[in-house]
Amino acid sequence: MAEPEIVSALVELGFSLNESRAYRSLLLDSPATGYEVAARARIPRSAVYGVLRRLVSAGVARSIAGSPERFVPAPAEELATIMRKRFDTNLGSFDKAVRELDTTPPVPDAYSVRGYDRILEEAERLISTANTRLVVSGWPRELARLLPELKTASKRGVYIVVFSHAALPPMPGQVFSYGLEEPQLERFWKHRLVVVSDDHRTLIGATEATDRDNAVVSETAPIAEVATSQISLDITLLSQRTGRDVQAVMEKMLGERVGSLDTLLADSNAPKPARKRDRT
């Protein structure tokens, strides 16, 4: 039997399953005795008072003296404030401890990520750490999850290019889309996500919204170059079909490669000077 959403959320915050069930039970009906909480929250009677007192100790519940003793929950807003403060404090302690180690672990050139949510977390990280340029290709479902980070990146001046075959909601940056309906595309294409950050960090992965999804995150510039070139090809094909001028975008995406190639092509097509004939 699946746990209610609030129970799962509390477990993710570090509470035990019984503590999470007990807090939910108190939210639904309180003041309540330990016996009542045990019955409603499916907690063994022998364990329930220990669970409730841990919640009281953490500031998440309050005890009302009496016979029998009763318990009430801290308001959800208060719990959120407590957890946010605790997280910030713990994160500060962790950051201080790491700095005192005076060491930087090596970053692998490439590593794999498994699971839909973890893949999107890595994509958000790449977007949040971009300083100059982001090139993204994906589906509306995934891009909607990444939209807040994309908006933030745009506000700090990052140049953004987004491509999708499917119809997209309003997005920051230069957006290219065929405007096709997502269910139609899903008949023959799978969800894939590509994020290139600052021309050297890249994520390429499957995003089918399952725990089996896999992605590769790379810190290698050549992989970023190949991924960007593939997305630029998609955009070029779209421009040929729609008549949209993409020269300026290509120059931003591909940098000096565009101008250099034009120069080489112009030189190769220039008429060759006539060779003087040897009259000896």
Based on the fold, state whether residues 54 and 174 are members of the same structural domain: no
Token readout for 250 is 């290509």
- Let me know whether 123 and 240 are in one domain: yes
Give CA separation, 201 vs 133, 166, 218, in Å.
Answer: 11, 25, 6
Q: Give the separation between CA 112 and CA 114, rounded to whole angstroms.
A: 7
Omega within 30 of 0 (cis) for the link into 273: no
Residue 240 lies in a domain: yes
- Assigned domain for 60 exists: yes
Torsion sign over Cα 182, 183, 189, 190: positive
For residue 70, give its domain range.
5-77
Residue with tokens 């896999």: 214
What is the structure's pLDDT at 261? 47
pLDDT tens-place string over residues 101-154: 666 555 567 888 889 999 999 999 999 999 999 999 999 999 999 999 999 999
Task: Kindly state whether residues 69 and 140 are assigned to the same domain.
Answer: no
Q: Residue 125 in contact with residue 217, Cβ under 8 Å?
A: no
271 in a structural domain: no
Strand-pair partners of 161: 135, 174
155 shares a domain with 30: no
Tell whether 263 is covered by a domain: no
Rounded-to-integer distance, Cα 128 and Cα 67, Å: 54
Of 194, 199, 175, the closest CA to residue 249 belongs to: 175
Shared domain check, 117 and 14: no
- CATH code of residue 201: 3.30.870.10
Average pLDDT for 190-213: 94
Q: Which residues pair with 192 in a beta bridge?
A: 206
Share of the chain above pLDDT 90, in %: 52
Q: Residue type for 192, please? A: R
Residue, of 280 and 174, whose pLDDT is higher:
174
User: 244 vs 276, which has greater pLDDT?
Assistant: 244
Q: Do 121 and 61 reside in the same domain of the chain?
A: no
Answer yes or no: do 133 and 218 share one domain: yes
Please state the domain count of the chain. Answer: 2
Per-residue pLDDT reduced to its tens digit, 35-70: 999 999 999 989 999 999 998 888 888 888 888 889
Residue 32 has pLDDT above 60, yes or no: yes
**What is the edge-to-edge ordering of all strands in the sheet holding 32-33?**
32-33, 70-73, 61-64
Per-residue pLDDT, 159? 96
57 or 257, greater pLDDT: 57
3-state helix, strand, coil in the chain (%, to 5): 50, 20, 30
